[in-house]
Amino acid sequence: MRYGKYMFAQLKRMLKLAVGVFPTAMLLFVSLGIAGYYFFQSSIFTQNQNKFRIGIVGKIDETYLGFGISAVQTLDSSRFMVDFIPMSEDEARKKYQAGELTTYVMVPDEFLDSVVYGRNDVPITYVASEGQKGLGAFLMQELSKVVSRLVTSSQSSIYGMQRALVFEGRTEQLDEITDEINLKLINFVLNRTKLAELEELGLSKGLLIRQYYFCTILLLFCFLFGIVSAPVFLRRNQQLAKWMRIRGIGAAGQVLGEYIPYFVFLFFCTALPLFLVGRATGGLAFLRWKLGVGELIRGLLPLTMMIAALHFMIYELFHNPVANLLFQFIVTMGMGYVSGFFLPAAFFPDGLIALGRILPTGVALDYLSGIMLGSGGKGWKLGAYLTAFLVVSILARARKIQREV
C-alpha cells in the first residue's frame, strides 16, 4: 500500500512536470521528423530519385571532350545516374553552394592534349566536398577511379597497337587502324555494363532504407528523451530518499515507484505522436509496410521500458548536470553511431558490427527492426538490459541512502 501511494504521488508529480516537458518532446519529435526527411532525401541511397548533377567547367565546345560528354549523355548506361551540365566556374560554385549540383569538375584547357598524347599529367579537379567530407565525397572518389581505369586502359591499348605497327613498319595504315580500334573501344566502354548478367532473387533485404531510417529516428527520439526529461530528475528533492527510507520504503521500492511513472510518460510521449502521424498518413503508408500502427505501438512497450530504465540509471549515477548531459550524449550519439543510427551498420568492420549489436542502442535497433519486419524482436536481450539497469539504479539509490543516513 505504501509503495502504491508513493508511486501515485510520483505519477502526480510527473503529470505536473509533463505540462512543460510534453510540448518540447513533441517539438523534438517534429524536429526529428523534419531532420529525418532531409537526411533521407540527401542520402546517397535515394539518388535514383534525384540523379547526380555534375557541373562541367572549361572549354568543351567543339572538342572531342564535348562530343564524348554528349555521347555519354545519350548512349552510356551512366545517363540514368548522372547529368553533366556545362557552365562557368562562378555559376558552378554558386549552384554547388546552393545545393543544386552534386559536384563540379574543372577541365583544364590542356587536359585533352595530355590524354591524347598519353601523358595524363593535367588532371581534372573536382570539388570533393565543402567542409568535412560526406559519404558522397567518398563515392565520387571511387567513381573517379572507375572512369580513370576505363580511359587509361583504352589509352594503353591504342598506344600499344601503334607501337606494334611502327615496330613492324606499317606506318601507312596507322591512322586508319587507330580509328578502327578507337571505335571498337568506344563501343566496349558504352556497353561495358553488359558484361554482367544480373539475376535478382526478388527477396527483400530486410528493411527498406526508409524503414531503417524510420527505426533509427524513432530510437533517437526515445534515447534523446532522457535529455528532455532532465527537469524530471534534476529537480528531485535529494533529501526525499532518506525520508522515504525512514517511512519504510526502501531503495527498490523508491526506484520502482519513480521508474514506473517515468516509463509510462516516455511510452505515452512516443506512442501518441506515432498514433497521430499514423492516422494522418493512412497507417504510415509512406513506409511501404504491412504492419499496423497498433502493432508497432504494442511493440514499443518493452523497448521504452528498457530505454526508460537506462535514463533512470544515468540520472541515479550522475547527479552533476554537466557529467550527466555529456554521458547521455555519448550514449545516444556515440553508441548510436556504432550501432548504425546514422550510417547503416553494414558499413562498419565486423568487430564494430558485433560491438554495435550488443550495445543497448544496437539491441533496441535489432528489436525494432524485428517488429517492423513482422518477425518479432528479441525481447530477452531487452529484458536483460532492463534488469541490469534497474539493479544498478537500486544499488546506487541504496548507497545514496546509506551515505546520507
Partner 1 sequence: MGKRMRRGLIWWYLTEKRLFKKPGYLLVLLMVPVLAWAMGRQAGQEAGMVTIGLCCEEQGGLSEEILERMISEESILRYLRFDTEQEAVQAVKNGSVSAAWIFPERLEEKLAKMAEKGRITPVIRVVEREDDISLVFCREVLCSQVYPSLAYLTYEGFVDSKLGADGNVELTEEMFRDFYQSVQVGDDLFVPVYLEGTADSGEHYLTAPLRGLLSIWLVVSGMAAVLYYKRDEDLGVLDFVPAGRRIKYAFGLQAVVLGNGGIVFLMACGALEILENWRQELVSLLLLLGCIACFCVLLGVLIPKIEGIGLLIPILVILMVVLCPVFLQIRLPWGIQGVLPPYYYLHALYAPGYRRHMLIYFLIGAFACLSVNWIYHKRS
127-156: which residues touch partner 1 (CB under 8 A)? 127-156
Q: State the cell numbers at 69.
A: 560528354
Choosing from 8, 64, 67, 159, the residue that interacts with partner 1 (CB under 8 A) is 159
Choosing from 15, 116, 301, 323, the residue that interacts with partner 1 (CB under 8 A) is 323
Choosing from 70, 88, 171, 193, the residue that interacts with partner 1 (CB under 8 A) is 193
Residues 73-132 that bind partner 1 (CB under 8 A): 78, 80-81, 93, 96-99, 105, 115, 118-121, 123-132
Decide whether 220 or 372 has the Cβ nearer to partner 1: 220
**Whole-number minimum distance, CB 156 to partner 1, in Å?**
5
Decide whether 171 or 279 has the Cβ nearer to partner 1: 171
Cβ count within 10 A of residue 157: 15
Phi and psi at 106, nearest 5°, equal -110, 115
**Whole-number minimum distance, CB 353 to partner 1, in Å?**
9
Determine the Cα–Cα distance for residues 401 and 405; give it in Å rounded to an integer. Answer: 6
Determine the Cα–Cα distance for residues 14 and 6; give it in Å rounded to an integer. Answer: 12
Choosing from 64, 67, 329, 380, the residue that interacts with partner 1 (CB under 8 A) is 329
Distance in Å from the first CA to the final CA of the chain: 24
Residue with cell 523534438: 28
Cα–chain center distance at 385: 25
Q: Does 200 bind partner 1 (CB under 8 A)?
A: yes
Choosing from 288, 350, 403, 405, the residue that interacts with partner 1 (CB under 8 A) is 350
**Whole-number minimum distance, CB 293 to partner 1, in Å?**
23
Please name which of 68, 74, 70 lies closest in space to residue 151, comparing C-alpha atoms. 68
**Whole-number minimum distance, CB 400 to partner 1, in Å?**
13
Phi and psi at 55, nearest 5°, equal -85, 140
Q: For helices 209-228 and 293-317, give the axis angle rounded to 10 degrees.
A: 40
Q: Does 342 bind partner 1 (CB under 8 A)?
A: yes
Please name which of 187, 215, 177, 203 lies closest in space to residue 345, comparing C-alpha atoms. 215
> Which one of 58-66, 278-286, 333-341, 367-375 is the stretch in contact with partner 1 (CB under 8 A)?
333-341
Please name which of 262, 265, 378, 380 lies closest in space to residue 316, comparing C-alpha atoms. 262
Q: Does 346 bind partner 1 (CB under 8 A)?
A: yes
Q: Does 276 bind partner 1 (CB under 8 A)?
A: no
Q: State the cell numbers at 171.
A: 606506318
Cβ count within 10 A of residue 303: 25
Determine the Cα–Cα distance for residues 331 and 359; give it in Å rounded to an integer. Answer: 10
Per-position x/- string for 225-254, each x denoting binding to partner 1 as judged by CB under 8 A, each - no binding: x-xx-xx--xx-------------------
Choosing from 202, 280, 288, 405, the residue that interacts with partner 1 (CB under 8 A) is 202
Q: Does 63 bind partner 1 (CB under 8 A)?
A: no
The dihedral over CA atoms of 200, 201, 206, 212, expressed in degrees to the nearest 10, equals 10
Q: How many residues in the chain?
A: 405
**Whole-number minimum distance, CB 344 to partner 1, in Å?**
8
Choosing from 71, 185, 388, 398, the residue that interacts with partner 1 (CB under 8 A) is 185
Please count the residues of this chain forming the interface with partner 1, following the rule CB under 8 A: 138
> Which one of 54-62, 83-91, 177-185, 374-382 is the stretch in contact with partner 1 (CB under 8 A)?
177-185
Determine the Cα–Cα distance for residues 21 and 347; give it in Å rounded to an integer. Answer: 36
Q: Does 16 bind partner 1 (CB under 8 A)?
A: no
Choosing from 206, 292, 294, 383, the residue that interacts with partner 1 (CB under 8 A) is 206
Q: For helices 135-167 and 174-190, give the axis angle rounded to 10 degrees.
A: 150
Decide whether 154 or 361 has the Cβ nearer to partner 1: 154
Residue with cell 533517437: 220
Q: Does 337 bind partner 1 (CB under 8 A)?
A: yes
350-353-354 Cα angle (round to 5): 85
Choosing from 347, 358, 383, 399, the residue that interacts with partner 1 (CB under 8 A) is 347
> Which one of 55-63, 166-174, 248-256, 391-399 is the stretch in contact with partner 1 (CB under 8 A)?
166-174
Determine the Cα–Cα distance for residues 369 and 360; give it in Å rounded to an integer. Answer: 14
> Which one of 2-10, 64-72, 320-328, 391-399 is the stretch in contact with partner 1 (CB under 8 A)?
320-328
Q: State the cell numbers at 145.
A: 577511379
Decide whether 249 or 401 has the Cβ nearer to partner 1: 401
